[in-house]
Structure 1
Amino acid sequence: MSVSDQLAAGEPEGVSSGAVSIAQASKLLRVPMPTLRSWELRYGIPESDRVSGKHRRYTAAEMHALRLMRDEIARGTRASLAARSVRALLGVEGPAGELIQSVLAASDRSDPKGIRNELSRAADLLGTGPAVDEVLLPAMRQIGQWWQTGRCDVDQEHLTTEAARSWLDKRMAFAPPPVMSNPLILACGPGDLHTIGLEALALLMRENGWPCRVLGARTSTDSLVTSARAAAAAGVVVVAHLPTGRRRALASIAAVHDLRIPVFYAGNAFSTPRSRAQLPGVYLGTRLQDAAALLADHLRS
């Protein structure tokens, strides 16, 4: 069974065996039929080898791909970027794919120790950076999708999140002492709640010798400015995912820039070139390993 088939298993929204028509898929997903056709024709979501002229029917794995696409777009992601994200998630195979499945299985068992053990195994096999980008974050995205579609409840989502954060905290505690003097400040935008990506980036930077201070969720502009000034920060990272919080995140970025402290930013709120036009600072992209390397290069220059 492929990774995408395994991820689709157990979904209550859709079909567990057989296939459904496009009209049924539209009703189940609450997505218009023309939109489903557009996703397949323009973006290849879902991938299909059907024969031209035959009536379109969607398998369980294809329904899962459509759910992922729908939910990415619902979070404000552009369709082209949402399709790229879906293909990346469904295309994970080999050791990383197997490790994702192990993390998800431990989550289904409500086994926080098992989640931490699988993440440690991923770091041992792949290294910390790949374990974060290729196992931790895809697994957490999948848990988020499960919660949104009713595949898991909020208790399972919270348990998995806290287990992942605990694993990051432990790795941070055992990281080598920082060799740089001025800290890097990392904060969510004033409207953003999710901190796992921020904490994971802090771990990668700490392993590169940088002291890091994570201010966490919903950091106000005033709190960010006060912390950056008091710490004589080497740089500040602002992460914002929600389009509704973008304006306040922009105010934070501008305020740090006015302090003449290097400012960096990331997240879905800045995923398009247009959303980054005329912004001060440096966009860090979508992969944390690349973001850590870019940060280190800029801060050392």
Structure 2
Amino acid sequence: MPKAQIIRAVPGVPLSVTMVAARLGVSASTLRTWERRYGLGPSERRAGTHRRYRPEDVARLSRMLELVRSGVAAADAAATVLSLADEDLGGALVGTSVPSGPEDLVEAAKLRDQERLERLIAASVSVVGLVHTWCDLIEPAMETILGSDEGEEPGSAPSSFLTVAVLAVIRSVSEHCPTTPTPAAAPVVVLADQDHSLAAHVAGVALQWNGIPTAVISTGPHAGSTGSGRFAAHRARAGDSVAVVMGRGASCERLMRAIAGSGEVDIVLVGADSPHVLDQHVQRVRTLSACVDETVALARAKATQGEEQLLED
């Protein structure tokens, strides 16, 4: 998955089993089992190439997945979707359409339509990837909502609906992340203040999708402890050697200096408004996409250095 994107797909173009598996959130072996047992396989056949799934094939698999998750036996679900004509699959095909822009998320959030929000976000993630969905859709939508002078109705805030929808989608993504680093990678911790908490979780899942063991820690004062104290304790336990820091202002700068003072942690500082800290261990990036790319490279380089050190010892 290059550049922390879950999948890239062009509407109407036949997809491989790997791409369909990533798009639906199931394993490729599950799709092959459904093909072998129930005949729910790809219909595209070309000489000398692998078989490919057409949009109608993906729509049937999507409907199959919905039925199975709702409690229908796999054999019965397969019989149902195989009996549907292509025109009856329109709902499943429409359900994967990508939002036209942040305004679609804003509208759904204001209507408190949680199901639509999750569907729009998941559709975008399946086509352009998690990081691009955050940068191009989710973050601008959240800024629009929070920047409105209309205010939010107490107890029914659109920003909260959008936050819950994002967390639901990235939780689903995280369930299919690799469980072991491939290739080997040093563990990473993402440290973020309250304003950057959601972005931190998006970055964390993107890193996990790249096979990077990741944890997210709040930098605020909680339960009598500080962000730097929690990082030190977590690092002693997990051995983190790469830290991603998201924040702004004096508190973020103090955290940065506390971490950099150890001299053993590589730091990726994220955001155009993050504090300027001059240190050889600090790399400053402006965007979440650059953050993920840089952190993946650092974590893998750290693991390689560790292996080489062990061989020398």
Matching residue of 1:261: 265
CA distance change for structure 1 residues 295 and 181 in 2, over 3 Å: closer, same or farther? closer
Question: Whose RCO is larger (CA < 8 A, sep 6+)?
Answer: 2
CA distance change for structure 1 residues 202 and 114 in 2, over 3 Å: closer, same or farther? same
CA contact (8 A) 2:265 2:281 kept: no
Matching residue of 1:12: none
How far 1:107 moved relative to its partner? 0.4
Residue identity matched to 1:225 = A
Please state if 1:234 is matched with 2:241: yes
Map 1:169-208 to 2 at 5 A: 169-179=171-181, 180=184, 182-189=186-193, 192-208=194-210
CA distance change for structure 1 residues 99 and 124 in 2, over 3 Å: closer, same or farther? farther
Map 1:2-81 to 2 at 5 A: none
Matching residue of 1:81: none
TM-score, normalised relative to structure 1: 0.58
Matching residue of 1:23: none
Matching residue of 2:212: 210
1:152-173 deviations in whole A, cap 9, x for unaligned?
Answer: 3352222222222222222112
Matched residue pairs, number?
Answer: 195
Matching residue of 1:56: none
1:66-100 deviations in whole A, cap 9, x for unaligned?
Answer: xxxxxxxxxxxxxxxxxxxxxxxxxxxxx987142
How far 1:257 moved relative to its partner? 2.3
Rounded to whole Å, the distance in 1 between the matches of 2:145 and 2:283 is 27
Q: 2:255 aligns with which of 252, 256, 261?
A: 252
Rounded to whole Å, the distance in 1 between the matches of 2:245 and 2:234 is 13
- Mark the structure with the bigger radius of gyration: 2
Please state if 1:107 is matched with 2:109: yes
Q: Unaligned regions of 5+ residues in structure 2, if any?
A: 1-96, 221-225, 302-313
Rounded to whole Å, the distance in 2 between the matches of 1:239 and 1:115 is 26
Q: Unaligned regions of 5+ residues in structure 1, if any?
A: 1-94
Which range moved further: 192-201 or 151-160?
A: 151-160
Aligned CA RMSD, in angstroms, stands at 2.4
CA distance change for structure 1 residues 182 and 295 in 2, over 3 Å: closer, same or farther? closer
CA contact (8 A) 2:204 2:214 kept: yes
1:220-270 deviations in whole A, cap 9, x for unaligned?
Answer: 2211221122210031111113x3xx2x32232222223312122223542
CA contact (8 A) 1:178 1:206 kept: no
